[in-house]
Amino acid sequence: MDSSLQVLFDQVVGRNPGEAEFHQAVAEVLESLGPVVTKHPEYTDAAVIQRLCEPERQIIFRVPWVDDRGDVQINRGFRVEFSSALGPYKGGLRFHPTVYLGIVKFLGFEQIFKNALTGLPIGGGKGGSDFDPKGRSDGEVMRFCQSFMTELYRHIGEYTDVPAGDIGVGGREIGYLFGQYKRITNRYESGMLTGKGLTWGGSQVRKEATGYGTVFFVEEMLKAAGESYDGKRVVVSGSGNVAIYAIEKITQLGGTVVAVSDSSGYVVEESGIDLATLKDVKEVERGRVGDYVARRPDARLGTSGSLWDVPTDIALPCATQNELDEAAAATLASNGCRIVAEGANMPTTSAAIRVLGDAGVLFAPGKAANAGGVATSALEMQQNASRDSWTFEHTERRLDEIMRGIHDRCLATADEYGLPGDYVAGANIAGFIHVADAMLALGLI
């Protein structure tokens, strides 16, 4: 890291103790910005980086609710409003027991640059709770969501801050959250939340968008190398929204997904994962990958190691942060993997990224590769603002164009800074410059 940026980084660590994931996300961006601060002293003069590392606003609140046994439960809610230089704060809500301020801040920080890269008018933010929806009844999830929104509603709105889903927050939770906002405010304000249901203001392709977008991004990487998905083996970790729709699109484009996972383990099926069965198990029954194996005679449950041990051409980590470590990266590379693209946010450790780079594996960071989700959220906001709704085909075409645009911007920026093929530098620099220029224009705020 450039020595002047190292000083800034040390200040960030000092000001935000104990937030390892946030430190990691900041380090990853600052490592790319050396040549930018050399070329553009105006960013340093206006303390753009220090300002970006300090959220505009952070809200932490109590979420009390009553479980099915009649016991009172207390969770902690967060919304970190990081940057509104380019538009209203935009970013999802994560409900998972591991959520604490450091996770929300890493996600919010990433979101600033990801959203900037889409070229759409959205700022960056993120929120969530340490509430665990797993094993909770629909009634419990509803009461939690209602209590969460009873505090959150005063901080958000169509022109202020527009939450959406993330891990643990899907269509069901968005419905309960929207219902409570509408009830409290007496406003049918569609554009205050994205990921809504198709019958009440949602957008076609939003559910599919993160997974599809990642696959479109990789398609562009393949094209740039003169290749296609035809005959390629792909391994996808996770089996949430991102993974499921990545698998769907890869299969449509001629690739074969040979392994998939969830927090209970992984499954290998050499002839290709059967999407209908996976959707049934994960989306309808909220089951485990073991339930998938029970229904597919040719599938086997991984008994040792991880799914990164399965030989593959392309690996898409689509589960959660830091799921792909140094050892996994080395195994992937030695088994001939050519491309790793992040469907999840920061699933690859910093050491693993270095291993992949040294081995010549192309690597696409999440802020570029998984930006299709939030980009389609912005398309949902566009439709809400014009009280319109677009067809699946039209929306998917827009998503594809946006992903192509991000891909090309990353490569062009990497070229401009003398780092051809470096998607990490390209994404960090292009995202940063877009938001930094807006900050300069808006004055010291």
Would you count residue 194 as binding ligand GLU (CB under 6 A)? yes
Distance CA 135, CA 152 (A): 24
Out of 126, 196, 207, 367, pick the active-site residue. 126
User: Minimum distance from CB of 357 to ligand GLU (Å)?
Assistant: 24
Structure tokens at 323: 């799921």
**Binders of ligand GLU: how many residues, by CB under 6 A?**
10
39 tagged catalytic: no
Q: Which range, of 54-62, 85-93, 128-136, 268-276, touches ligand GLU by CB under 6 A?
A: 85-93
Judged by CB under 6 A, the residue of 90, 96, 196, 398 near ligand GLU is: 90
Tell me the one-letter amino acid at 121.
P
Judged by CB under 6 A, the residue of 166, 313, 342, 396 near ligand GLU is: 166
The DSSP code sequence of 184-243 is HHT---GGGSSS--GGGT--TTHHHHHHHHHHHHHHHHHHHTT--STT-EEEEE--SHHH
| HSE-up of residue 105 (Cα within 13 Å, Cβ side) | 25
Would you count residue 214 as binding ligand GLU (CB under 6 A)? no
User: CB nearest ligand GLU: which residue?
Assistant: 92
Would you count residue 129 as binding ligand GLU (CB under 6 A)? no
Would you count residue 372 as binding ligand GLU (CB under 6 A)? no
Judged by CB under 6 A, the residue of 92, 123, 128, 133 near ligand GLU is: 92
Nearer to ligand GLU, 193 or 425 (CB): 193
Structure tokens at 214: 């990642």
User: DSSP state, 155?
Assistant: G
Distance CA 300, CA 158 (A): 47
Judged by CB under 6 A, the residue of 8, 116, 164, 406 near ligand GLU is: 164
Would you count residue 180 as binding ligand GLU (CB under 6 A)? no
Distance CA 75, CA 95 (A): 10
Distance CA 146, CA 8 (A): 40
Would you count residue 246 as binding ligand GLU (CB under 6 A)? no
Length of the chain: 445
N- to C-terminal Cα separation, the chain = 27
Would you count residue 77 as binding ligand GLU (CB under 6 A)? no
Binding residues for ligand GLU, per CB under 6 A? Answer: 90-92, 164, 166, 194, 345, 373-374, 377
Residues marked as catalytic: 126
